[in-house]
Amino acid sequence: MPMAFRFSPGVAAARGRLRRVFAIALMALVAAAPAAAGEAFDEALAAYDRGDFTAAAQGFENLAEAGNADAMTNLGLMHLHGEGVARDEQRALALFSQAAAAGSPYGLFHLAGMYRDGTSVRQDYRQAADLLRQAAEAGHAESMTALAIFHRRGWGVEKDPAAARDWYRRAAEAGYPPAQVELGRLYEKGEGVASDPAQAVRWYSAAAESGFPLAQFNLATMLDEGSGIPRDRAEAAVWYRRAAEAGVAGAQGNLGRLYEAGEGVAKDEAEAARLYGLAAEQGDLTAQYNLANLMLAGRGTAEDPEGAVAWLRKAADRGYFRAQTMLGVLYEKGHGVTRDGLEAARWFRSAAQQGFAPAMNNLAYLYAEGIGVDRDPARAAEWLGHAAARGDSVAQFNYGWTLEAGDGIAPDKVQALMWYGLAAAAGMAEAADRGRALAATLSEAELDRAEAMIRDWRPVQGMVE
């Protein structure tokens, strides 16, 4: 029986999700000072903000010589980065040390950063943690957040998720947006706390309302996905837009997906293409893939197969399995590139080895037909088995046909019926038709076995071993 092999184009729009780990910031200048030095301090800070680093450094120098610890910290930062003064890490270290000795939380925080990174001093996580604790106990929210990271990672302290949670909470309750985001993430993921989507939304919302783009993105993603809360894509679009306007690539890409699908916003493929383009230029892999799909179809933008290939190649070269699969499809068909079965096989194999079932199915097709590889029905059946086991309905249909025909594998009509049944349950009419025809040839006992196998089947997850 000839094989009616179904090919997986794999063109569905992909969803992006941003992950962020906070590090200790080293460039935030202290923006307040004791009242006695307030005017001079404010003048130096204003000079810095307008880019007059020489005037700012002179102002902070004068205040530092008068014993102002916050001015010492800011002057140390300017020496650390060579702004208005010569870059001098030793001078920065000395200034941070003087500020820390005077009890400045900001000085303690930045001195901790020097010990953490080993900048002009031997790297010492324990010393960094001790300095951060002093600053945190003095109410410095950035130090609380940094100390939480140290407890999460076991840097200079015992790894302690509960302590990390408590420091994040103290900083979050002090109104520090990065800590609010991290606390929200702990509640969203259930790390060190019981999973609580409502608490995650609470803390993401607090930071989002203060204008923190990452929080806006995370809140939008929860609303978009309905992660433990009612799905609300219209509200998700509002928050995606705010984060997108701040330049968050993941938000630009996800908002583009809503415009492409017309979910939560009026369908607008041109706007989707524009947003995908913004995210793609920032290196967002899913946006590069989604933009390429629009360009291939000429939806929302001019049809441009060669341009689509260029975007797919950028994402594929960085290991994105969907882009690798689509690039394989284009090489197999010769669309936007010269037809090349060897290149198609290379890209399908790369994606298949990451556990992407449509790529496994397509690689099986190449082995079944001898395109770019030696014809090998047994290898084709093996890859189909992997893809079918991962829930790909096209592969399930193809594997059923292979088992029914005994092409490269021992024939097994009961298993074949099981795979047809699973593909049919996923909505494939052709599988339902083929399953009915096969069922008419089987005994009642064989039908019962196939039904039991369908009932007990569970998809496999992960990469091929």
pLDDT digits (tens, 9 = 90+) for 150-206: 999 999 999 999 999 999 999 999 999 999 999 999 999 999 899 999 999 999 999
In this predicted structure, what is the pLDDT of residue 126?
98
Considering the domain architecture, whether residues 54 and 80 belong to the same structural domain is answered as yes
Considering the domain architecture, whether residues 36 and 170 belong to the same structural domain is answered as yes
Decide if 310 is inside a domain.
Answer: no
Considering the domain architecture, whether residues 61 and 75 belong to the same structural domain is answered as yes
Residue 441 burial (CB < 10 Å; 0-12/13-18/19+)?
A: exposed
What is d(CA 430, CA 3) in angstroms, rounded to the nearest whole number?
Answer: 13
Decide if 254 is inside a domain.
Answer: yes
Question: Is pLDDT above 90 for 29?
Answer: no
Last residue of a domain, one of 253, 282, 311: 282
Q: Is the torsion defined by CA of 37, 40, 46, 52 positive or negative?
A: negative
3-state SS of 251-269 is HHHHHHHHHHHCCCCCCCH
Decide if 427 is inside a domain.
Answer: no
CATH of the domain at 183: 1.25.40.10
Print the domain residue range for 83: 19-174
Mean of all residue pLDDT scores within the chain: 93
Considering the domain architecture, whether residues 153 and 211 belong to the same structural domain is answered as no
In this predicted structure, what is the pLDDT of residue 20?
35
Number of domains in the chain: 2
pLDDT digits (tens, 9 = 90+) for 148-165: 999 999 999 999 999 999
Considering the domain architecture, whether residues 46 and 147 belong to the same structural domain is answered as yes
Q: How sure is the predictor about 59, in pLDDT bands with cuts at 50, 70 and 90? A: very high
Question: Is pLDDT above 50 for 458?
Answer: yes
Last residue of a domain, one of 151, 174, 197: 174
In this predicted structure, what is the pLDDT of residue 26?
40
Average pLDDT over residues 238-243: 98
Average pLDDT over residues 92-106: 96
| Contact of 208 with 248, CB cutoff 8 Å | no
Q: Two tokens at 43?
A: 């003048």
Considering the domain architecture, whether residues 194 and 169 belong to the same structural domain is answered as no
Last residue of a domain, one of 252, 282, 312: 282
In this predicted structure, what is the pLDDT of residue 6?
65
Considering the domain architecture, whether residues 88 and 200 belong to the same structural domain is answered as no
In this predicted structure, what is the pLDDT of residue 446?
97
Considering the domain architecture, whether residues 31 and 85 belong to the same structural domain is answered as yes
Q: What is the reported pTM?
A: 0.86
| Contact of 106 with 14, CB cutoff 8 Å | no
Average pLDDT over residues 261-274: 98
In this predicted structure, what is the pLDDT of residue 24?
40
Considering the domain architecture, whether residues 200 and 235 belong to the same structural domain is answered as yes
Q: How sure is the predictor about 214, in pLDDT bands with cuts at 50, 70 and 90? A: very high
What is d(CA 319, CA 329) in angstroms, rounded to the nearest whole number?
Answer: 16
In this predicted structure, what is the pLDDT of residue 261?
97
Question: Is pLDDT above 70 for 425?
Answer: yes
What is d(CA 244, CA 16) in angstroms, rounded to the nearest whole number?
Answer: 13
Q: How far is CA 420 from CA 46, 76, 103, 311, 423, in A?
A: 71, 69, 72, 36, 5
Question: Is pLDDT above 80 for 33?
Answer: no
In this predicted structure, what is the pLDDT of residue 35?
44
Q: How sure is the predictor about 11, in pLDDT bands with cuts at 50, 70 and 90? A: low
Q: Two tokens at 412?
A: 């097994």
Q: How sure is the predictor about 322, in pLDDT bands with cuts at 50, 70 and 90? A: very high
In this predicted structure, what is the pLDDT of residue 271?
98
In this predicted structure, what is the pLDDT of residue 15?
65
| Contact of 383 with 357, CB cutoff 8 Å | no
Q: Is the torsion defined by CA of 245, 247, 253, 254 positive or negative?
A: negative
Question: Is pLDDT above 80 for 327?
Answer: yes
pLDDT digits (tens, 9 = 90+) for 127-156: 999 999 999 999 999 999 999 999 999 999
Decide if 290 is inside a domain.
Answer: no
Considering the domain architecture, whether residues 162 and 183 belong to the same structural domain is answered as no
